[in-house]
Amino acid sequence: MLVADPGSNFVKYFAHGLAFAILFLIVGLVWVVLFVLLVICGLWLGLILALVLFFVLMGYVNAFITESLWFPVRTGFLACLGHGFLLFLALLPVNGVVLAIHYLVTPDFLVSFLIFLVTAPVAGFLAKSVGGLWRVYPQDVLPFGTWPPGPPPEEAPPSPLDLPRK
C-alpha cells in the first residue's frame, strides 16, 4: 500500500495558501475599484452586486488553484458563488483571530510576514477542503456533445410517440 508523503502535502497546502493570498490580493485590488464604482452607481444594489462579485472571484481564484494543485472542480457562476461564500466563512475565523492577535501585539511588518507564513498552510488546507465540495469526478465528465445527461440511446426508454396506438 502506498502512503502519501505528509511532507509533500504540507508543501502543497503551503503553496495553495500562498498562491491564494497572492492571486486574491491582485484580484482584490481590482474588486475594490469595482466595489467603489458599484456603490457609487447604486447604493444597496451596488453593495449587493459587489459582494456577489467578491464571492464569485474568490471562488474562481480558489477553483483555479485547486485544479492546478489537487483535482478538477466545477467552475460555473453559481458553483463559484457558493464556493467563494463558503471559503469566506471558513477563512474568516482563522484570518480574523490572527489579525486581531497581530494588531494587539504589534503591527510590525516582520510579524505580519511571519504570521502569513504560519497561516498559509492552514488557509491552503481550508481552501482545498472547500474546493473538494465542488470536486469533479471522472464519471461526472460528459463527452463533448452529450446533452442532456442520461442513459445511452440503446437503453433509453421508448418515447410515448413511438408506441403503437390501440
DSSP output for 80-144: HHHHHHHHHHHHHHHHHHHHHHHHHH---HHHHHHHHHHHHHHHHHHHHHHHHTTB--GGGPPPT
Residue located via cell numbers 447604486: 42
Span 65-123, pLDDT tens digits: 888 888 888 888 898 899 899 998 998 888 777 777 777 777 777 777 787 788 888 88
Of all residues in the chain, what percent carry a pLDDT higher than 90? 4
Q: What is the pLDDT of residue 2?
A: 42
Helix and strand element counts for the chain (H, E): 4, 0
DSSP 9: H
Q: What average pLDDT does the chain have?
A: 77
